[in-house]
């Protein structure tokens, strides 16, 4: 077996909790942010076996510091403690088996997260921008290289995947004082890209994240144990059925967010009706099960939300100013396609 090579570009903070795999020969392999095991030479940990897929299983560090293992739809499967594995958070002493290659997982003790005093100051300040400016002035006085950058109005750098998501419109960011203070992730193909969420929470640019909006809550997001030192607002939705809203509310009841000390009660955005608003004030109500069709686009109900898509072979659908083929709508979204222009509304 070959030791791990470079991992992905996503940097997930490890709150002092080590993790590693041990093979039958006693060789140890550290688990960082992401570890892919397979027979491919590009895998982080190479297993030489014809019964192991090129990319067989991935171990992902969650924002909580836990490690999740996921079988990558392999032909021979992965076993965890003798049982078939789909995906699961690992516990110390768990045994992963790929063909006849067992690995014992070891997870170190959970240590207290380092305190971020500035995050606490911003979370409690009545004027966060003024408090941030005081901090920048202190950095300048101390000769910290971050001071001149922030004083010049420059933003903290974003990892390439985050920048690409912003360009595509799947990640919306509100910058203040050089840092991301609010963020919203949009669903893609009915799901949220977990890697983007992990990368956002790991980014130095989001160190003082104040507001986070997600389409829904899922245990695999790993938010419950995530360190969110400055977060005050957490919103989920929009939801257009009572069942979806109730499901999110129930999930929130099981998530205390113990490492988000300034978090206010999370908000579940529930709506009973939705409509399209055209120029001049004309409105068209949307009904579940019915499609609204225009010459160059259509709006339809799908998987608990409203989806806008451009007509076949038509190449002009602008969604909040960006060219898209399809997109899930949230209140306030602006759509332009041919001569059709509308804003999505809900209440």
Note the pLDDT tens digit of each residue in 73-88: 999 999 999 999 999 9
Going by their DSSP bridges, the two strands 340-346 and 274-278 should be labelled as: antiparallel
Residue 238: is the preceding peptide bond cis (ω within 30°)? yes
Query: Of all helices (H) and strands (E), which one includes residue 346?
Result: strand 340-346
Which of 168, 159, 203 lies closest to 187 in space, CA to CA? 168
Burial per residue of 111-146, b for 16 or more beta-carbon CB atoms within 10 angstroms, e otherwise: eebeeeebbebbbeeeebeebbeebbeebeeeeeeb
Strand-by-strand arrangement of the 305-310 sheet: 292-293, 297-302, 305-310, 326-328
- Coil, strand, or helix at residue 4? coil
Which of 290, 289, 329 lies closest to 309 in space, CA to CA? 329
Q: What is the pLDDT of residue 65?
A: 86
Which of 227, 15, 225, 219 lies closest to 107 in space, CA to CA? 15
Q: What is the pLDDT of residue 114?
A: 66
What's the rounded Cα separation, in Å, for the pair 175 and 184? 12
What's the rounded Cα separation, in Å, for the pair 285 and 337? 19
What's the rounded Cα separation, in Å, for the pair 192 and 221? 9
Which tokens go with 261? 């000390």
Q: Is 5 left (phi over 0), alpha (psi -120 to 50) or beta?
A: beta
**pTM, entire model:** 0.86
CB burial class (10 A; 0-12, 13-18, 19+) of residue 283? exposed
Strand-by-strand arrangement of the 283-285 sheet: 283-285, 274-278, 340-346, 334-337, 318-319, 322-323
Q: What is the pLDDT of residue 236?
A: 96
- Coil, strand, or helix at residue 66? coil
Which of 330, 263, 325, 257 lies closest to 297 in space, CA to CA? 325
Phi, psi (degrees; rounded to nearest 5) at 47: -115, 120
Q: Which residues pair with 234 in a beta bridge?
A: 212
Which of 181, 182, 177 lies closest to 136 in space, CA to CA? 177
**Residue ranges in the chain modelled with pLDDT below 50:** 1-15
CB burial class (10 A; 0-12, 13-18, 19+) of residue 279? exposed
CA distances from 18 to 21, 32, 116, 202 (A): 11, 8, 21, 17
Contacts of 194 (CB under 8 A, 6+ apart): 60, 220, 221
């Amino acid at each position: 077996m070959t030791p791990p090579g470079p991992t992905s570009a996503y940097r997930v903070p490890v709150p002092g909790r080590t993790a590693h795999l041990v093979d039958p020969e006693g060789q140890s392999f550290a688990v960082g942010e992401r570890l892919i095991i397979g027979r491919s030479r590009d895998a982080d940990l190479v297993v030489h076996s014809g019964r192991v897929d090129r990319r067989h299983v991935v171990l992902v560090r969650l924002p909580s510091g836990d490690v999740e293992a996921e079988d990558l739809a392999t032909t021979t499967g992965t076993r965890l403690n003798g049982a078939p594995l789909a995906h699961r958070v690992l516990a110390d002493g768990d045994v992963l088996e790929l063909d006849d290659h067992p690995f014992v997982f070891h997870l170190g003790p959970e240590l207290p997260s380092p305190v971020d005093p500035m995050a606490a100051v911003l979370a409690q300040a009545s004027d966060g921008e003024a408090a941030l400016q005081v901090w920048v002035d202190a950095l300048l006085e101390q000769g910290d290289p971050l001071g001149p950058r922030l004083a010049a109005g420059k933003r903290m750098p974003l990892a390439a995947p985050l920048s690409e998501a912003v360009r595509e419109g799947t990640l919306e960011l509100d910058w203040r004082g050089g840092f991301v203070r609010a963020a919203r992730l949009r669903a893609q193909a009915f799901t949220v890209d977990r890697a983007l969420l992990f990368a956002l929470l790991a980014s130095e640019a989001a160190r003082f994240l104040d507001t986070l909006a997600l389409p829904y809550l899922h245990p695999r997001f790993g938010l419950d144990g995530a360190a969110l030192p400055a977060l005050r607002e957490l919103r989920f939705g929009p939801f257009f059925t009572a069942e979806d809203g109730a499901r999110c509310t129930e999930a929130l009841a099981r998530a205390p967010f113990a490492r988000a000390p300034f978090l206010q009660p999370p908000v579940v955005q529930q709506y009973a009706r939705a409509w399209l608003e055209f120029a001049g004030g004309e409105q068209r109500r949307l009904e579940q099960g019915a499609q609204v069709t225009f010459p160059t686009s259509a709006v339809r109900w799908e998987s608990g939300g409203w989806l806008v898509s451009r007509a076949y072979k038509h190449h002009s659908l602008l969604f909040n100013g960006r060219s898209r083929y399809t997109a899930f709508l949230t209140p306030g979204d602006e759509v332009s396609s041919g001569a059709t222009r509308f804003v999505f509304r809900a209440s």
